Amino acid sequence: MLLALKPLQELLYRLITAPGGVSEGLAEERARSRGDLDALIRGDARLSAVDHLDIYANMYFYRLLDILKEDYPATLAVVGPDNFHNLATGYLLVNRPHHPSLLYAGAHLPDFLQTHPLRAAFAFLPDLARLERAETDVFVAPDAAALDETAMRAVAPERWAAFPLRTHPAVQTLDLKWQVGGVVRAVQDGAQWHAPGHAAVTVLVWRMHGRTYLRDLDAFERAALRAARDGAPFANICEHAAQALPSIDAPARIASMLARWLADGLIVAA
Amino acid sequence: MQMNRADFPFLGFGVGLRRPHYAHIIDARPRIDWFEVISENFMVPGGRPLQVLEAVRANYPIVLHGVSLSIGSTDPLNRGYLRELRDLARRFEPAWISDHLCWTGVGGRNLHDLLPLPYTGETVRHVAARIREVQDFLGRRILIENVSSYLQFTDSNLTEWQFLAAVADEADCAILLDVNNIFVSAFNHGFDAHTYIDSVPVGRVAQFHLAGHSDHGTHLLDTHDHPIRGEVWALYERAVRRFGNVAALIEWDDNIPEFDVLAAAADRARAIHSSVERGANSHAARS
């Protein structure tokens, strides 16, 4: 063989993922005396060796671009298709897919946006992408039997204080600097999105009956859910919540909050 | 143990399970023989995909069809991937598991595409050894599928069908024969699709794929976004004549139409199969 299988696959990988296309990648390989594509791939009357490999290079990029568009529809709506195309190009240069599943191909986009020039025009982009990614992660998070009202009623009142609770694996709370939930919802509803307010907000993302939902949390509920994240007795959860918002009528709020958690399937027995 | 085609039951005529049809399949339980499931779409920790698969599996036979086994790669086999695949198979009990005769990545990175291999004896030995390892790990014989390809290596000294047959024989695995992929690659590389069909060993083929492709002038692309072309149906008829009772599956992955369109394609495959069978029976009765 002109090239053993491993160096052949490595060369094709470099050429297919070359940012400027196969020709540009090949020029770089030639400069390092490594690339002679005509000796490896058959050209024909219709297509040269480079043309043949370019088919794969185009499919590589556009397949991943489609996946990123699917995973980040609100980010796409905000920056527009041309900016998103360039964003994906840059992202894939430094975040080559490793995982066998395409589900994880876009996992690092929120981090990538932290230092991206698009932030100059859309400062809220990293938060927006983070929220969209959280929806994806929550959608496929592990299953667990959520507690419901019947299950909680079965717990004897004297055991409530020590009863350990934990948030369901398909629950995330995100501390964001921008109120981007409205942008996500508008795009999902096919409505016009509006620039989000610049104010700290905690967003709850959860899954119920196979669908993901999101809503903003106040300091009381945020503290309670954070306490429940790693598992805690109910009394501790209540204590954390009351400390976070001392002015509130804690017992009444805890009752309504717990009822909502149970209805939304947010907690499991720890 | 040498492969016996009876190990792979004749499932009839199925379609690929795709997201736009989930609700229809679960709620209306349409008349279709079986579903093929993209393994990686369900190798997830939890949530709706697995709920859907449970609901579908309760009413239909399924098979698992992977796109990321990367059986031709020079990277070590991904044990984590194989464990997840094995777990999925244990949970949903598919009739069989298949993947592609290709490589999808190298150096720990994934191209998420089905890249061809040089058709040489050395590659046959490399791939066959890996298929045997996978079969041992999964505890079952797998099917490997011929891919559409858009390039040929100068090093290849076997035809694609010789390569496919040699790998299947040396690995003692089954073949998922994609009729559309044969048509696409025949156009792209100028070989005779009939010769291909006529050269694949009869005893190894356990499933057919049928799909549409797109014409880009200089080449055809296996896009699964168009109706199946007449020439591909004709090739399928030839394949049924040669291979007999083999389950067939309609693939449609982009511009996905209503479920009824896919079901109609599955019915057309059934009609061709029945017609060939009737012809064979009447021929046998006359002779």
**For A186-209, what is each residue's pLDDT tens digit?**
999 999 999 999 999 999 999 999
Of B110, B113, B218, the CB nearest to A99: B110
Of B45, B48, B110, the CB nearest to A142: B45
Best to test chain B binding among A15, A38, A52, A135 (most B CBs inside 10 Å): A52
Domain ranges, ordered by start, for chain A: 124-269
Q: Please report the residues numbered 10 through 69 in chain A whose beta carbons come closer than 8 angstroms to any beta carbon of chain B.
A: 10, 12-13, 16-17, 39-42, 44, 46-47, 49, 51-53, 55-56, 59-60, 63-64
The tokens describing B34, both together, are 């079986």
Nearest CA in chain A to B47: A140
Give the tens place of pLDDT for each residue, A246-269: 877 888 889 999 999 999 999 999
CA distance B160 to chain A (A): 15
Residues of A in contact with B40 (CB under 8 A): 100-103
Of B106, B115, B118, the CB nearest to A56: B115
Of A21-25, A107-111, B167-171, B184-188, least confident by mean pLDDT is A21-25
Residue A135 buriedness (CB in 10 A; 0-12 / 13-18 / 19+): buried
- Once rounded to an integer, what is the mean pLDDT over residues A2-21? 90
DSSP A99-158: SSSGGGTTTTHHHHHTT-GGGGT-TTHHHHHHHHHHHHHHHTSPP-----HHHHHTS-GG
The pLDDT confidence band at residue A25, using thresholds 50, 70 and 90, is: confident
Bridge partners (DSSP) listed for residue B249? B14, B209
Q: Residue A30: which residues within 8 A CB-CB, separation 6 or more?
A: A36
**Residue A128 in this model has a pLDDT that exceeds 60:** yes
3-state SS of B79-104? HHHHHHHHHHHHHHCCCCEEEECCEE
Of B112, B123, B152, the CB nearest to A97: B112
Q: Which helix (H) or strand (E) holds A131?
A: helix A125-139
| Total domains in the fold of chain B | 1
Give the tens place of pLDDT for each residue, A220-253: 999 999 999 989 999 999 998 888 888 778 888 8
Of A1, A46, A140, the CB nearest to B219: A46
Given this model, what pLDDT does residue A33 score? Answer: 59
Cβ distance A60 to A88 under 8 Å?
no
Q: Do B109 and A105 touch (CB under 8 A)?
A: no
Q: Do B118 and A8 touch (CB under 8 A)?
A: yes
C-alpha A193/C-alpha A131 separation (Å) is 15
Higher-scoring residue by pLDDT: B172, A3: B172
The tokens describing B236, both together, are 């399928």
Q: What phi and psi values does residue B84 have, to the nearest 5 degrees?
A: -65, -40
Tens digit of pLDDT per residue, chain B (287 long)?
A: 578 887 899 999 999 999 999 999 999 999 999 999 999 999 999 999 999 999 999 999 999 999 999 999 999 999 999 999 999 999 999 999 999 999 999 999 999 999 999 999 999 999 999 999 999 999 999 999 999 999 999 999 999 999 999 999 999 999 999 999 999 999 999 999 999 999 999 999 999 999 999 999 999 999 999 999 999 999 999 999 999 999 999 999 999 999 999 999 999 999 999 999 988 787 777 76
Given this model, what pLDDT does residue A1 score? Answer: 46
**Residue A134 in this model has a pLDDT that exceeds 90:** yes
The pLDDT confidence band at residue A34, using thresholds 50, 70 and 90, is: low
C-alpha A67/C-alpha A106 separation (Å) is 8
Closest CA relative to residue B12, chosen from B34, B29, B31:
B34
ipTM associated with this complex = 0.94
Provide Rg for chain A, Cα atoms: 25
Given this model, what pLDDT does residue A28 score? Answer: 83
Give residue B141's domain range: 5-286
Q: Which residue carries 């499991």 as its tokens?
A: A268
Q: How many beta-carbon pairs below 8 A join chains A and B?
A: 131
Q: Which helix (H) or strand (E) holds B63?
A: strand B62-65
Average per-residue pLDDT for chain A: 93
Q: Do B81 and A100 touch (CB under 8 A)?
A: yes
Q: Do A10 and B106 touch (CB under 8 A)?
A: yes
The tokens describing B108, both together, are 């720990």
The hierarchical CATH code for the domain A124-269 is 3.90.930.50
C-alpha A173/C-alpha A179 separation (Å) is 14
- Once rounded to an integer, what is the mean pLDDT over residues A78-103? 96
Cβ distance B59 to B37 under 8 Å?
no
CATH value at residue B67: 3.20.20.150
Residues of A in contact with B102 (CB under 8 A): none
Given this model, what pLDDT does residue B282 score? Answer: 78
